[in-house]
Amino acid sequence: MTVSFDASEQLIEQVNQALAANTPLCIQGGGSKAFLGRPVEGALLDTRTHRGIVTYDPTELVVTARAGTPLAELEAALDEAGQMLPCEPPHFGPGATVGGMIAAGLSGPRRPWSGSVRDFVLGSRVITGHGKHLRFGGEVMKNVAGYDLSRLMAGSFGCLGVLTEVSLKVLPKPRLCRSLRVEMSVDRALLKLAEWGQQPVPITAASHDGRALHLRLEGGEGSVNAACERIGGEALDGEYWQDLREQRLGFFADARPLWRLSLPTNTAELALPGEQLIDWGGAQRWLKSDADVQTIRGIAAEVGGHAICFTAGACVSPFQPLGEPLLRYHRQLKTQLDPQGIFNPGRMYSEV
């Protein structure tokens, strides 16, 4: 059973009260991703009362939902119509909301082959730091022109405004999905993935756990079956990808801090202290390590990558520190959209 309620007036009132009192706000939905980033001190602004699917036309492949809508509820509605969120966003808990999905901007195993959360945002409604409820973008791709503030909300962690509504592009679910486990070394797996990336192999997920390469192939029956015959290996339970996305694999149970490394495509295996799990065909590496932040970020930077700490309290600056030019842009953007600095102050960086 779905519940729909427009609480935008109450949210606007709370924002205006905070502006009048110059009181910081901690914007939060289900709190399933509250561990990521720096702690925020401020009055809680809970978006969960503002919920419900506003419009959904499967023939147009577009859905519009309020920020407090449970992510599971949106995915169930899409699944019933044979469609999906192509970015495969993680939940990290039963309370995950659509607004939290956008704010965190995290994508699942399909990301390199389909796109990120940001890529599927068509339009949004946002309460700004001026107390205005504004609409950006639209519900079709041609409306997205110029400086796209809607997509800017993806990965902003609530620092730029209160997202109240978002329109998303969705896609049909693949006709056939098969997963494989192939015993091979990390180095060979990375070489094979680079080779397959230049060929019409219908891969939509690829990871390596240090022992074997795990692949997901999706598409038409003929192309998927042909690729499976060519690659070989053994059948893999498709639940593996949900467990990877939601960090339920045994790898993530390790008590050491968890780091996420984003690296250029085809980067060789890194000599990092700790245990690694390769995701996104090599572009994302999960690391469990007690090594200091300078060592981890230094090794990632040597190959043109960066590192984010996913363990609350394990690092003073969980997000990769910004250079002066980028920090200046962040400050200017924050000043334009949130001049009093009341929205999730310091969530991403202490300077913003």
| 349 found inside a domain | no
| 240 found inside a domain | yes
89 touches 33 (CB < 8 A): no
pLDDT digits (tens, 9 = 90+) for 124-143: 999 999 999 999 987 755 54
pLDDT for the residue 146: 47
Is residue 85 located within the same domain as residue 117?
yes
pLDDT for the residue 152: 94
pLDDT for the residue 302: 97
pLDDT digits (tens, 9 = 90+) for 245-261: 999 999 999 999 999 99
Is residue 167 located within the same domain as residue 140?
yes
Please give the Cα distance from 280 to 205 (Å, whole number): 6
pLDDT for the residue 137: 87
pLDDT for the residue 211: 96
> Which 3 state secondary structure label does DSSP give 279?
strand
> CATH number, domain at 59?
3.30.465.10
pLDDT digits (tens, 9 = 90+) for 17-51: 999 999 999 999 999 999 999 999 999 999 999 99
pLDDT digits (tens, 9 = 90+) for 73-95: 999 999 999 999 999 999 999 99
Question: Half-sphere exposure of residue 345, counting CA atoms within 13 Å on the CB side?
Answer: 15
54 touches 36 (CB < 8 A): no
| 159 found inside a domain | yes
pLDDT average, residue stretch 296-322: 97
Residue ranges making up the domain that contains 203: 176-309
Beta bridge partners of 166: 65, 124
Is residue 105 located within the same domain as residue 242?
no
Please give the Cα distance from 66 to 51 (Å, whole number): 5
Q: What is the H or E stretch that residue 182 is in?
A: strand 176-183
**Residue 213, φ and ψ in degrees, nearest 5:** -90, 130
Average pLDDT, the chain: 95
pLDDT for the residue 140: 58
pLDDT digits (tens, 9 = 90+) for 169-180: 999 999 999 999
Q: How many domains does the chain have?
A: 2
- Confidence band for 147, pLDDT divided at 50, 70 and 90: low
Is residue 145 located within the same domain as residue 261?
no
| 61 found inside a domain | yes
| 277 found inside a domain | yes
pLDDT average, residue stretch 334-346: 97
Is residue 163 located within the same domain as residue 280?
no
| 284 found inside a domain | yes
pLDDT average, residue stretch 314-332: 95
Is residue 22 located within the same domain as residue 162?
yes
Is residue 14 located within the same domain as residue 159?
yes
pLDDT for the residue 1: 61
154 touches 116 (CB < 8 A): yes
Is residue 233 located within the same domain as residue 106?
no
Is residue 116 located within the same domain as residue 240?
no
pLDDT for the residue 265: 87
Is residue 16 located within the same domain as residue 81?
yes
| 286 found inside a domain | yes
pTM exceeds 0.85, yes or no? yes
Is residue 160 located within the same domain as residue 192?
no
Beta bridge partners of 126: 134, 163
Is residue 143 located within the same domain as residue 188?
no
| 28 found inside a domain | yes
